[in-house]
Structure 1
Amino acid sequence: MAKAVVPGFLLAGSNVTGGPWSVLAGGRDVSGAAQVEGWDPSIDLMVSRPLEVDLPGLLAATGQGQGARFRSVLMWHATGSGLRGVSESVPAVDGVVHLQLDLEGAVLGGTLTVESVVILDLPDPGHPLAATAAGVVVWREQTSYTLEGDGNRLQTQQLSFSEQGLGLPAAAWRLHVEEEAGLDDLAGAQVFLYLNSDHPRLTSLLEGDAPDPLLLSALRLEMERRLVEAALDRFEELETRSTYDEGSFGEALDRALKRNFPGQSPAEIAAQRDRDRGWFEMTLQARTRFLA
């Protein structure tokens, strides 16, 4: 028996126009760059874009009646973490609408792809080829940003802790830093983040739900602490170096110190940590905006 041919549905055309993309990395405007230089997981991103909607033209192009309603969102996916999500939706009314994503650096990495979409929210079909179901995407346009090179990407893997024996089943993640690695080795081969796919708080995050701010704040603090601790455990070696190859383990450790303790030498930071552990922890909380 021959299968029935199911026709597609009408899509939007030039009646939706995407404006310029805007990208802020830690407050720094990097909108015109395909690669965000100097990015690391402690740097949050804000991505925004205006859309100009000709609503009468959109209704005509999609075959919808006056009762139809549309909404617009930004959808994102980061290859470095494997995570994805969406912005808050905005009604796609006649005129200019503004879309914005606020992304925690801890959930990003690799290549960040952001897609602006217009979705049919309430159908009112007036044409045989008009979409009849809510949630249909009638317009989309995307862009991509490289957040780091392959050499310094934080390797992230999702797996079941209970099945793999990687840690206690109730743990949310395990951050492994190969502290004995050479300073000239690639950082991407020395730092691993394992996310427990069994953990209920992480399960919703990995499925693309809205990130839990408390969870991300705790992850960012632990990532920075581990890198700083690894750097201070070999501060004498770091004191003898002034430059590092891009993407190297030494560069990753050096940048972690400068992010969290700017203007201080590794020896000074190590000495203060040993004298007052409370000061050390408090400084890391402030620099990573823990619970902020």
Structure 2
Amino acid sequence: MNHRVLPYRVPRDDAFKAESWRLVTGDVEAPMSDALSGWDYQLDLHLRRTVSLDLDRVRSESGLPDDCSVLLVAVWTATGSNLRGPGCRVALTGGGWTTATLDVDLRGADLGGTLLLDTAVVLAERREGARPSSPRRAGSVLWSDRKTLRLQGDAPMFPMAVIDFALTSFPEAAAWHLQISGTLENAAMGSLLLLVNEKNAVTTAAFTNAGDPRPTDRIVLSAVYADTARVMMEHALAQDEFVDEAEFPDDSLGATFLALFDRIFPGRSIADVRLQRAHSPSLFASELQAAVKIFEGR
């Protein structure tokens, strides 16, 4: 955590004791690691953390009155979706050592990339007539820390929707379709959408079980991953502006394509791969299939 210099008094760090975040699945709790494998946009998250603090010290060392109320809050940010929101808030009253638990429920559809979890103790209400050296505005941060969770899994890392292909222009018997829209400068989260045909029971079951996939589900997810990687690369290589020296905004469609290209074709130039796809599309497809390790460890 970066040390911030605030324009008001704050308590020392030893007035707080924060336990690690835990991942809650049913009745089971497990320590949250740095990365969560097997995650996809269908998997919601329930996270829990316990924080203890000496309220008397928090108030006195901040120059606050003994009856001043403070809040323990959690705020989440997802870098993949560029979404941010409140996770939980607990009002803290009384004095002495107090323990509070934060329970944060997050929709998988709102997440992606790296999940940032900010925990903070803040002033609950604005204080009129407060001394300049003490916090006065509601929301003034008295203490905070940040933890990160990298989300990764077998399913493609972009939003998806389950629909009936019979009601669309897509082939009714197709299992899935990757929809790509916008330019390479557009945000990837708004440009990529994986559509799954609800009439295809095998595919829909695989995504439903993505958090704890069966052997059959792993095969289906691997096939979807390989196919979406192929579609993305073919789409990228068809764009004239997709070249080795190109620079795209962070989290843009172009940046996503460049990152995927570097993973699939490390050490090769875009011009070389584009030429191979034009003259030997079957070899291009086979090399991509080998690079994503289809059906291996999924």
SS of residue in 2 equivalent to 1:178: strand
Of 112, 137, 141, the match for 2:115: 112
SS of residue in 2 equivalent to 1:87: strand
- Looking at structure 1, the residues matched to 107 and 88 of structure 2 have their Cα atoms a distance apart, in angstroms, of 15
| Cα offset, 1:62, TM superposition | 0.8
- Looking at structure 2, the residues matched to 110 and 79 of structure 1 have their Cα atoms a distance apart, in angstroms, of 5
Aligned partners of 1:115 and 1:140 also within 8 Å: yes
In the alignment, is residue 154 of structure 1 matched against residue 158 of structure 2? yes
Q: Give CA deviations for 1:197-249 in whole Å, capped at 9, x if unaligned.
A: xxxxxxxxxxxxxxxxxxxxxx9xx96547958959xxxxxx9x959869933
In the alignment, is residue 248 of structure 1 matched against residue 225 of structure 2? yes
Equivalent residue number for residue 122 of structure 1: 125
Give runs of aligned pairs for residues 1-292 of structure 1, distance below 5 A.
Answer: 8-13=7-12, 14-24=14-24, 29-93=29-93, 94=95, 95-122=98-125, 127-148=131-152, 152-154=156-158, 177-178=177-178, 194=190, 225=197, 248-249=225-226
Pair 29,227 (structure 1): closer, same or farther in 2 beyond 3 Å: farther
Q: Give CA deviations for 1:21-67 in whole Å, capped at 9, x if unaligned.
A: 11135776452421111011111111111111101100111111123
| Cα offset, 1:71, TM superposition | 0.6
Aligned partners of 1:111 and 1:144 also within 8 Å: yes
Aligned partners of 1:149 and 1:247 also within 8 Å: no
Q: TM-score, normalised by structure 1?
A: 0.52
Equivalent residue number for residue 272 of structure 1: none
Uncovered stretches (5+) of structure 1, i.e. residues with no partner? 1-6, 157-175, 180-191, 196-218, 233-238, 253-292
Pair 227,31 (structure 1): closer, same or farther in 2 beyond 3 Å: farther
Aligned amino acid, residue 143 of structure 1: K
- Looking at structure 2, the residues matched to 72 and 34 of structure 1 have their Cα atoms a distance apart, in angstroms, of 23
Aligned amino acid, residue 31 of structure 2: S
Pair 26,78 (structure 1): closer, same or farther in 2 beyond 3 Å: farther
Aligned partners of 1:177 and 1:226 also within 8 Å: no
- Looking at structure 2, the residues matched to 28 and 130 of structure 1 have their Cα atoms a distance apart, in angstroms, of 42
- Looking at structure 2, the residues matched to 134 and 62 of structure 1 have their Cα atoms a distance apart, in angstroms, of 14
Pair 226,26 (structure 1): closer, same or farther in 2 beyond 3 Å: farther
Aligned amino acid, residue 119 of structure 1: V
| Cα offset, 1:73, TM superposition | 1.0
Greater shift, 146-155 or 125-134, is seen at 146-155
- Looking at structure 1, the residues matched to 224 and 61 of structure 2 have their Cα atoms a distance apart, in angstroms, of 49
Pair 251,229 (structure 1): closer, same or farther in 2 beyond 3 Å: farther
Pair 28,35 (structure 1): closer, same or farther in 2 beyond 3 Å: farther
Aligned partners of 1:65 and 1:126 also within 8 Å: no
Aligned amino acid, residue 149 of structure 2: Y
Pair 150,37 (structure 1): closer, same or farther in 2 beyond 3 Å: closer
Pair 39,151 (structure 1): closer, same or farther in 2 beyond 3 Å: closer
- Looking at structure 1, the residues matched to 69 and 104 of structure 2 have their Cα atoms a distance apart, in angstroms, of 22
SS of residue in 2 equivalent to 1:59: helix
- Looking at structure 1, the residues matched to 221 and 138 of structure 2 have their Cα atoms a distance apart, in angstroms, of 53
Pair 30,227 (structure 1): closer, same or farther in 2 beyond 3 Å: farther
Q: TM-score, normalised by structure 2?
A: 0.51
Aligned amino acid, residue 100 of structure 1: D
Uncovered stretches (5+) of structure 2, i.e. residues with no partner? 1-5, 161-175, 180-187, 205-215, 230-298
- Looking at structure 2, the residues matched to 20 and 76 of structure 1 have their Cα atoms a distance apart, in angstroms, of 15
Aligned partners of 1:120 and 1:138 also within 8 Å: yes
| Cα offset, 1:86, TM superposition | 0.7
Q: Give CA deviations for 1:237-291 in whole Å, capped at 9, x if unaligned.
A: xx9x959869933599xxxxxxxxxxxxxxxxxxxxxxxxxxxxxxxxxxxxxxx
Q: Give CA deviations for 1:181-202 in whole Å, capped at 9, x if unaligned.
A: xxxxxxxxxxx7538xxxxxxx
Pair 242,49 (structure 1): closer, same or farther in 2 beyond 3 Å: closer
CA RMSD of aligned residues (A): 4.0
